[in-house]
Amino acid sequence: MQEEKFLWLRKEAKDANTLSRIEDIERDKKILEEDGLITPKGKEFLLKLESSNIWLSKHCAPSSIDMYFEIFMENHYTEVSGFDGKDANVLLDIGTNEGYYMLRMKRANPNLKVFSVEPNPVAFRFLKKNIAANSLENIVPIRKSSLQEEARCFFR
């Protein structure tokens, strides 16, 4: 399966430099897997942190934790005035991924109503697990392409 993915990616390469980089990544990934430094998909764990509880997949943990750092430690998503969530009534989080920004906004404003839209089924599953792990309310996780039905239900 992994070989098929890299075969596809090599076909996508537009120049020799890109192709060479892809081959380097594939080689490095194989070495890391052989050394046990990259784990297979499917292994999940819960981190109980001061600011929130987050579910992670061992397979994606390094990139997920980088996103968590950006949102909770480095405050990249709340630097812009009005994006801290304190005065908001509703948040529409499109491309919510595992829901870290939504967690940050609910921490700032527990009464905030949130629509969390995530089309990726794996990320959506982690989003729902993160909502449950933090006992959050007033959140509508959405995996559909249309928001009309959910919006009607939420604001009745």
Instruction: Report if residue 39 sits inside a domain.
Output: no
What is the Cα–Cα distance from 50 to 57, expressed in whole angstroms?
20
pLDDT band at 5 (very low <50, low <70, confident <90, very high): confident
The single-letter DSSP state of residue 40 is P
The single-letter DSSP state of residue 148 is H
Instruction: Report if residue 15 sits inside a domain.
Output: yes
Instruction: Report if residue 110 sits inside a domain.
Output: yes
Q: Which two tokens stand for residue 132?
A: 């449950």
User: Within this chain, do residues 73 and 16 fall inside the same structural domain, yes or no?
Assistant: no
What is the Cα–Cα distance from 154 to 156, expressed in whole angstroms?
6
Q: Tell which residue, 92, 138, 96, has the closest CA to residue 119.
A: 96
User: Within this chain, do residues 19 and 79 fall inside the same structural domain, yes or no?
Assistant: no
What is the number of domains present in the chain?
2
User: Within this chain, do residues 55 and 131 fall inside the same structural domain, yes or no?
Assistant: yes
Q: Which two tokens stand for residue 71?
A: 């949102």
Q: Which two tokens stand for residue 29?
A: 């990934």
110's CB contacts (< 8 A; 6+ apart) are none
User: Within this chain, do residues 27 and 70 fall inside the same structural domain, yes or no?
Assistant: no
Residue span of the structural domain in which 15 resides: 2-34
Instruction: Report if residue 105 sits inside a domain.
Output: yes
Q: Tell which residue, 1, 104, 125, has the closest CA to residue 57.
A: 125
The reported pLDDT for the residue numbered 147 is 56
For 64-113, write each residue's pLDDT tens digit.
Answer: 999 999 998 998 888 877 777 788 899 999 999 999 999 999 999 999 99
